[in-house]
Structure 1
Amino acid sequence: MKTLTISVAAYNVEETLDQTLKSFYDERILDDLEVLIVDDGSKDNTAKIAKKYVQKAPQTYKYVYKTNGGHGSTINKGMELATGKYFKVIDGDDWVDTDSLVEFINSLKKIDSDLVLTNHMECYPQQYKKINLVSGMENGKEYTWKDNINIEKVVLHSVTVKTKLLRENHVHITENSFYVDVEFVVWDAYVSHTIVYLDIYLYMYRLGEPNQSIAKVNMLKNIGMQEKISYELVKMYDQFVKNGDMLPRQEETIFHTFKRSIGSTMRTYLLLPTKIARKNIERFDKNIKSLSLVTYQRLNDDKFINLTRKGNYVLIPLLKVMYKIWVSKKYKY
């Protein structure tokens, strides 16, 4: 069995895929690592680049072609085919720090925790920013959700999970949609019992590119997908609550992770004209309430969502102005 499977979500990533795959290539870890390059129906040179690495190290790199089904479908295919003890998803426009990957895999060989958390770097065109979402955890020490730990949230860039837990819990990610990474990491937190934090800056997360799905102009274009995933997260949280098996700190981490997607959908609507923004936010929020009163009430603990709901949404014009100012400073259109 391989120590780690990395599932690479690859769709028309000819400009970045070589950097991604090269970052995994190190003679010290090739026998311990499986890289599944899941080509989601690309129409560029993604396949050509992928096959170059398959020829170079066939014991490590595997090329998998599938018809286009979205990011979630590549994760589902990766979970289906993975042979590694641990499973990690890396997007085809991101990469890893190679030396950190070697250290990471060597650490994975010595542990047996369900969930492994690492740091990551936000990589903007002009600067890199270190991100650490964990506090109260010693490097390499195993914890459970009962311990006094603080995991601010889980994100795709920080999580690695035991493959067998994903299969045993029949984890399936929504297909034909963007923004599904939150579904995957919420599942990772839910199915895990033991957690270890490794103080390694492993994942290099590319940001600041205008064609990314998280660019605000594209989020507005894809707002229907944001809504769709938000509703899926509402239903997931509702089911987890009904199952009655979440521990308090586990619930906190899951809540702080998925609430950001709900708030993000509302904030995207704030980019629309005021009347249209208010109408859509009210409709969206009422749909959440109809899907799960438990989730709707829990979301009141989020400051932004609570403020948005104040006085029957009367503060939306003010929030819209404030948000547009923030967006204009952070993003270039």
Structure 2
Amino acid sequence: MPQISVLVPIFNVEKYLRECLDSVVNQTLRDLEIICINDGSTDGSLAIIEEYAQRDPRVVLIDKPNSGYGDSMNKGLERATGEYIAIVESDDWIELDMFEKLHDIAVDQGFEVVKSNYFTYYADPARKALSDEKIKLVREDETGRVIDPSKNIHIFFQQPAIWSAIYRRDFLETNGIHFLPTPGASYQDTSFAFKVWASAHRVAFTSEAYLHYRRDNEASSVNQPGKVFCVSDEYAEIERFAAERKLSTEIWRILRVCKWGAYAWNIDRLQTDLAPEFIELAAEQFGAARASGEFNFEFCDVNQAREITELIEHPERVIERKRAQDAALVSVVMPFFNVEAYLRKSVDSVLQQTISEVELILVDDGSVDASADIAEEYFVRDPRVRLVSLRNSGQAIARNRGLELAHAQCVAFIDGDDYYEPDALETMREALLTHSADFVVGSIRPVFEPGMRSAMQKFEDEHYYEVRRSGLHEITSELLLDLDASVCNKMFLREAVENRGVEFPEGLRFEDAYFVNAYGLTSRSAYFLPPEVHVYNYVRRAGSTMATTFGNAGSAKDHLTVAFELFDFLEMHELAEQYGSYYMRLLDSYATFAFRHTEESDHPEIWSELREFIDLNRERLVELDAYALRNLEHRVFSGVLGRLNGAPALRRAVFRTGRALQSSLNRVLPRFSPGQRARQQIHADVTLLREQLAKSTAALSSQLVAQRRRIDEIAEQVNELIDERDS
């Protein structure tokens, strides 16, 4: 009996098949049975399978007429003889130690299922940033122990991802778990996964990831807009299984919530003309389940309850919402938190734009005032409005959630206490598309509430938020330096945001600056509206994010963290060489901002974090701009020391540590005079060059010695051959 039977369903995947099969046949666990089920392929897939079967006796070919994914998988299950079953889709590939690692866990305590995370994979260079992203299906606190899904119900709501696991074969057979044999590739993993979790009681999770899941195969079933009722077929199969097995009432209620998640996803992906019939079917089914008492919202959150209630009571409104969503020219994301006095004006400024085809995504970040009620009112009244309620998690998470729900080609942002100019969206969209730019920038008009800013501060705000250029420009470091940090006066391309992996850094303030820089650094061009064209009105009020950031608040430290994360982004996109000097100026600027707008008690922590970052990445930062790095270190370090003389209490504390410390400072401080510092730097540079030359000479000498030894060995072998010939 093989340790694992690997099922590989195959249909017209000659482009990807060799990569997939190579990753399976070369596994470090050799005791495998590799069952390739060819589902009537009309390309060269069959010939490739036959080639591998001739070379490797572990490869088993099942060749049959096309009958669909579910039937193919069932035939593979019938043929399998292994202790465990694994599934590898023929357009994916796996790490070479995947089965060894999962099998070691499985046999340790006889687990029925061992589940892992997985990686996304994109061959398209435009989506390179999304490749190798680790999708975390597994909770860290659930690894290393036995898990019973019936007591950990969140498992039911995960993506099925049936190929990131292995299953004990006798477990599947005993519980009658197989695939629904519907035609084509029709989301048959849905019922299979639910049956597994509803039946298993001994599951092991590992936080590691081994499988690379291809996301850019256009032939994949997930990319097909048809197959209207396949999801409902899957849930009919799940309900049959649940009734046959007499599963608990709790499992039935979980089933209903899972069903809504699948139905909502199906409604979202269907084309506008196909969705109404499915929506009516969904309304009928959920209405009947609620009326019979089989469904009572027990495991729903507020968003699911809102959507299901609307589906049951007003299916026609769901159809209207779907049509408005698909017709939207611009998606506007509006996070809000406790802004009841401002929210109506903000929402109206979006819904009353000169273009009516807008999608407004309201994200309530846990408001406890009347803001949520106001948003609910707009949601009920206007099908263009979508409402999402979150626990208070911060603006970055709220904006990211809004981005996930956006559908239009163009995307814009607005805060719930600000408002647009009436033609802002039309003006920005027209400029974006007409000039084929990556993004558009317009001026912001600050609106000051009484007592908020001095005359000088007002002047600074108005100058900062006024566009400094006009027309279409290629992206350069100089252009990026001219950009303000707000996302609210800009319009972006949604697909570009997704492909580049740009999102708001969660848990941080100043998340706008990260997003604008990350998007800008990966762009080719930007269009600037004339400076006098204001698109956005920014209300400067007490209690706003920026008001607290500039008030010696701890959140100003986040500027430094944003700079650190942008360094990682540059490295990931291989842009550090092109924008190295720009990044070093940005790091300097953000470090200065963090020191300037925080309490002195926070400065040691900021300095420590900056010091650690520089030490960790010194070699790379020197490559980007050595002069800028030296300048940053000298200036910041001098500034920290200078504070000793400017703060009597701090100076007295230093003196109290003893005369030894005072003597040390007296020896150190003179070294930082400009002349001495310059001499030290020249000496350090010369020393570094000498060390590099010595290393290069030593390496070359070592290579020459090795080559000489090799020549001597060859000469000796030649002499031996000559002696043998002569003898």
Closer/same/farther in 2, CA of residues 277 and 185 from structure 1, 3 Å limit = closer
Q: 1:105 to 1:148 in 2, by over 3 A?
A: closer
Q: Which runs of 5+ in 2 are unaligned?
A: 332-405, 409-493, 500-727
Provide the C-alpha distance between the structure 2 equivalents of 1:295 and 1:185, rounded to a whole number of angstroms: 26
2:64 counterpart residue number: 66
Of 137, 141, 147, the match for 1:133 = 137
Compute the RMSD of aligned alpha carbons: 3.2
CA distance in 2 between partners of 1:80 and 1:146 (Å): 28
**In terms of mean alpha carbon deviation, does 20-29 or 198-207 score higher?**
20-29
Structure 2 residue aligned with 1:262: 263
Q: 2-side partners of 1:247 and 1:117: how far apart?
A: 26
Instruction: Report the Cα distance in structure 2 between the residues aligned to 1:239 and 1:86, rounded to whole angstroms.
Output: 22
Q: Which amino acid aligns with 1:96?
A: I
Q: For 1:279 and 1:245, how far apart are their aligned partners in 2?
A: 30
> How far apart are residue 123 of structure 1 and its match?
1.5
Q: Secondary structure at the match of 2:211?
A: strand
State the distance in 2 between where 1:204 and 1:161 align: 19
Distance across 2 between alignment mates of 1:295 and 1:184: 26
Determine which of 203, 208, 212 is the counterpart of 2:220: 212
**Which has the larger strand fraction?**
1
Letter in 2 for 1:55: Q
Q: 1:145: which partner in 2?
A: 149
Q: Give distance in 1, aligned partners of 2:237 and 2:297.
A: 13
Residues in 1 aligned to 2:180 and 2:238: alpha-carbon distance in whole angstroms: 12
Tell me the amino acid that sits aligned with residue 267 of structure 2.
Answer: M
Q: Of the candidates 222, 225, 229, which is equivalent to residue 227 of structure 2? A: 222
Q: Which moved more, 1:92-101 or 1:147-156?
A: 147-156
Greater Cα shift, 128-137 or 297-306:
297-306
Which of 150, 162, 171 aligns to 1:156? It is 162
2:314 matches 1:318: no
Given the superposition, is the C-alpha separation of residues 147 and 261 from structure 1 closer, same or farther in structure 2, using an over 3 Å criterion?
Answer: closer
* Cα-to-partner distance string for 1:222-241 (whole Å, 9 max, x where unaligned): 32xxx134134145236516
Look up the match of 2:205. 197
**Alignment equivalent of 1:165, drawn from 165, 171, 175:** 171
The answer as to whether partners of 1:40 and 1:70 remain within 8 angstroms in 2 is yes
Q: State the 1:83 CA deviation.
A: 1.1
Secondary structure of 2:268's aligned partner: helix
Distance 2:30 2:92 in 1: 20
Distance 1:28 1:85 in 2: 17
Amino acid at match of 1:281: I
Shift in Å, 1:308? 3.8
| Residue 99 to residue 232, structure 1, CA distance change in 2 (3 Å) | closer
| Matched residue SS, 1:314 | helix
Q: How does 1:177-192 map to 2 (within 5 A)?
A: 177=184, 178-192=186-200
Report the alpha carbon displacement of residue 77 of structure 1 after superposing the two structures with TM: 0.8
Counterparts of 1:17 and 1:245 in 2: how far apart (Å)? 40
| CA spacing shift, 1:147–1:133, aligned 2, 3 Å | same
- Helix, strand or coil at the partner of 1:98: coil
Partner AA of 1:20 in structure 2? C
> What's the CA shift for 1:57?
2.2
Q: Which amino acid aligns with 2:230?
A: K
Residues matched between the structures, number? 320
Instruction: Tell me if the contact between 2:86 and 2:165 (Cα under 8 Å) persists in the aligned partners.
Output: yes
* CA spacing shift, 1:242–1:212, aligned 2, 3 Å: closer
Distance verdict in 2 for CA 1:199–1:232, change over 3 Å:
closer
1:142 CA drift (Å): 1.6
Code of the aligned partner of 1:228: C
Counterpart in the other structure of 1:245: 247
Kindly tell me: are residues 188 and 18 of structure 1, through their superposed partners in 2, closer, same or farther at Cα, counting changes over 3 Å?
Answer: same
For 1:13, the equivalent position in structure 2 comes to: 13
CA separation of 1:187 and 1:293: change in aligned 2, threshold 3 A: farther
CA positional deviation for 1:299: 7.4
Structure with the bigger RCO (C-alpha within 8 Å, sep 6+) is: 1
User: Paired residue for 1:79?
Assistant: 77
The change in CA–CA distance for 1:23 and 1:295 in structure 2 (over 3 A counts) is farther
Amino acid at match of 2:317: V
C-alpha separation between the residues in 2 aligned to 1:201 and 1:55?
A: 31
Cα distance between partner residues in 1 of 2:84 and 2:255: 21
| Structure 2 counterpart of 1:231 | 233
More helix by share: 2
- Deviates most, 115-124 or 322-331: 322-331
TM-score when normalising by structure 2: 0.40
CA contact (8 A) 2:140 2:207 kept: no
Q: 1:23 to 1:229 in 2, by over 3 A?
A: same
Distance 1:52 1:242, change over 3 A: closer
Give 2:460's aligned residue: none
Do the aligned partners of 1:119 and 1:158 also contact (CA within 8 Å) in 2?
yes
Inter-partner Cα distance in structure 2 for 1:167 and 1:117: 19
Q: By how many angstroms is 1:292 displaced?
A: 9.5
Q: Which has the larger radius of gyration?
A: 2
Q: Deviations over 1:56-76 (max 9, x none)?
A: 221x22111112110001110
Deviation of residue 287 (structure 1)?
A: 5.0
Distance in 2 between residues matched to 1:315 and 1:102, nearest whole Å: 48
Q: 1:278 to 1:95 in 2, by over 3 A?
A: same
**SS state at 2:203 partner:** strand
Provide structure 1 residue ranges, at least 5 long, that are not aligned to the other structure: none
